[in-house]
Copies of this chain bind each other. A is one copy, B any other.
Amino acid sequence: MKNDLLLRALLRQPVERTPVWMMRQAGRYLPEYRATRARAGSFLKLCTTPELACEVTLQPIERYPLDAAILFSDILVIPYALGLGLTFETGEGPRIERPVRSKQDVERLGVPDPETELRYVMDAVRLIRRELQGRVPLIGFAGSPWTVATYMVEGGSSREFSIIKRMMYDEPQTLHALLDLLTKSTCAYLNAQIAAGAQAVMLFDTWGGVLTPAQYRTFSLDYMARIVSGLTREHEGRRVPVILFTKGGGAWLAAMADTGCDALGVDWTTDLRDARAAVADRVALQGNLDPNCLYAKPTRIREEVARVLASYGHGHGHVFNLGHGIHPGVPPEHVAAMIAAVHELSPQYHRDAAG
């Protein structure tokens, strides 16, 4: 591998500078992505066609000196493989056609076989690895069981999460059965991604932050911990780092570090200095520039990059990223300014660092 900065940083090994990638880096802010998306005809077509998924995965790598590629896919391919129906309406977000609302609905579901029912993802991973030619590592990913369950139960995006919360209060055993199925499915799915060539994996818990602390532990974290325990951690003679990210989970970082994962994503509402103190150097940290900062002038972006780097401070174990996905309206040249600032300003934090 020509550039393994990301893998080393995720394992808190020495690096010369802080590696950088962006959540949703293959996305709508790039004109070349919009062109491929238009050619594909639909978002789902983009996800399910390995050649197209590979093409958009590589677009940000061709344009910017990023330190990682991340598989282009969607966390909802698992409910799609479960046969629940999935559509993406413009401006409306995802819609699950047959939501899961009862014990019977859950009992009808079976763990999908990744190499058949999600074969298009594995083919995309293999193709991307071939095309990357070792330039940078490839990150695989999945949604957390709780987060994927919110879409499956609510039938799409939600603001209040009232339907799944009612299930949680009144029929917790139904929700646990669903989360158990998703945990097994996600484990098999991520292990297949690793076998196909993903060199690090990330679990996106986008909606863990809408839970109470007790609910978070019971309905989100415990299932993520089971996944961490069930993952292949060594492949191609290298350790495969696992990253957990709960948006709005700043208060729970120490508990997340206890799962045995290698790194935690941190959103912009928590200072990396506090996050680092909370996890006491047990895991690496990934984040956490405010995604809205990329709308600002490049000189301001540079100042904020400096602030994020200083907030993590001296030493290894930091992967620079946004605190959430990049917004579709960001000017591409602002991304270049952010990456240049990380390249230029981060080496000072790694000189003579103990590890």
Query: B-contacting residues of A (Cβ < 8 Å)?
Result: 160-162, 165-166, 169-170, 209-215, 248, 250-251, 268-271, 274, 290-293, 295-297, 300, 304, 307, 327, 329
Contact = CB atoms under 8 A, between A and B. Distances in A.
A169 B269 contact: no
A292 B248 contact: no
A269 B327 contact: no
15 contacts: A165-B290, A165-B295, A169-B297, A169-B300, A209-B269, A211-B269, A212-B268, A212-B269, A212-B290, A213-B274, A214-B271, A248-B269, A250-B251, A251-B251, A251-B274
A217 to B, nearest CB: 11
A69 B170 CA distance: 31
Contacts of A300: 169-170
Contacts of A307: 214
Given A165-B293, A169-B304, A214-B271, 6 more contacts: A161-B292, A162-B295, A211-B269, A213-B274, A251-B270, A251-B274
B161 A296 contact: no
A86 B293 CA distance: 29
Contacts of A248: 248, 269
A340 to B, nearest CB: 18
A292 B150 CA distance: 14
